[in-house]
Amino acid sequence: MKLTSIICAAIFSASAVIALPTDLGDGVTLVPREPRMNVRRAARARKTNPKISAVSDASIDAITNNTNVDYSTNWAGAVLIGTGYKSVTATITVPTPKKPSGGSSSTQYAASAWVGIDGDTCQTAILQSGVDFYVQGTSVSFDAWYEWYPDYAYTFSGFSISAGDSITMTVTASSTSAGSVKLTNNTKGKSVTHSFSGETNKLCETNAEWIVEDFEENGALVPFADFGTVTFSGASVTTTSGSTLGVTGADILDIKQNNVVLTDCSISGTSTVICTYV
């Protein structure tokens, strides 16, 4: 989820000093994620939070045919729980988001797909990177971003994304307080990276995640977009021992809000996670 706080002028000044654009070459510049603006131009800062659990209900399980699903208000997908997780990766095809049935063309709907380390059973920090999808009326847009929770997410500026693009997402922890992310647009032949170091909030390296999210802005979940289907292919995690694991044995999550299930996620084979809007 994404959180918004009212920040005093002094904090804005401090963040302006440390959050400067970085030239990545090839015409790609990394800049701090700017708050998105709604029609009334109120700032909305974007931030992912750990998984928020929702109560399971056997009568709802039948809707998605998942008898071993865990419900969350913000996360859908798969979480592998273990130890010594160092690098998580997967490739998605960027969907075309739509307003949900009964939705308004004047409302902006959104969803996000990302890979990450921690945020489920370990909630002190999350190393993550992914793509956001937005739709309002006939207008569709996308953002590529990175985040080390509890800091805010930041946008990779100049990294073009279109519906149908193949995007490989990888996050790597070099220690519990340092790491890197890499997004590659396989369709357009472009990559961007960002490195973290000296993070105060440390990873546990015990959760590997492939997630579709209903994130939070302005202190509330954004209206959730109908994202169709997001498939995480080539989903894997490497460990400190050098082994590579797939998604076998991962916990399945579905988003449930107001006692209504919004997603249907499942695992196919050893390296594929499929999430569908329902």
- Judge whether residue 35 has pLDDT over 70: no
> pLDDT-based confidence at 45, cuts 50/70/90?
confident
Please report which helix (H) or strand (E) contains residue 58, including its range: helix 58-64
- Domains of the chain, by residue range, sit at 9-277
Under 8 Å between Cβ of 14 and 20: no
Under 8 Å between Cβ of 77 and 214: no
Task: Report the C-alpha gap between 164 and 185 in whole angstroms.
Answer: 11
Which of 12-16, 23-27, 106-110, 175-179 is the least confident region? Answer: 12-16
Spatial neighbors of 137 by CB under 8 A, at least 6 apart, are 105, 106
pLDDT in tens, 223-238: 999 999 999 999 999 9
Q: What is the pLDDT, as a whole number, of residue 23?
A: 43
Q: What is the pLDDT, as a whole number, of residue 55?
A: 60
Q: What is the pLDDT, as a whole number, of residue 56?
A: 54
Determine the distance from the C-alpha atom of residue 41 to the mean position of all C-alpha atoms in its chain, rounded to a whole number. Answer: 24
Buried b (16+ CB within 10 A) or exposed e, 33-64: beebeeeeeeebbbbbbbbeebeeeeebbeeb
pLDDT in tens, 73-97: 999 999 999 999 999 999 999 999 9
Pairing of strands 251-257, 69-72: parallel
Q: What is the pTM of this model?
A: 0.81
Class of domain 9-277: mainly beta
- Judge whether residue 65 has pLDDT over 50: no
Percent pLDDT > 90 in the chain is 73
Q: What is the pLDDT, as a whole number, of residue 3?
A: 40
Q: What is the pLDDT, as a whole number, of residue 21?
A: 40
Decide: helix, strand or coil at residue 191. strand
pLDDT in tens, 248-270: 999 999 999 999 999 999 999 99
Q: Is the dihedral of CA 107, 95, 27, 150 positive or negative?
A: positive
Q: What is the pLDDT, as a whole number, of residue 50?
A: 76
> pLDDT-based confidence at 15, cuts 50/70/90?
very low
C-alpha distances in Å from residue 45, one per residue of 22, 36, 42, 100, 277: 20, 7, 10, 23, 25
Report which of residues 278 and 59 the model is more confident about: 278
Q: What is the pLDDT, as a whole number, of residue 51?
A: 78
- Judge whether residue 168 has pLDDT over 80: yes
- Side chain identity at 7, as an amino acid letter? I
- Positions annotated as catalytic residues are 213
Q: What is the pLDDT, as a whole number, of residue 220?
A: 83
Q: What is the maximum span of the chain, computed from C-alpha positions, in angstroms?
A: 53
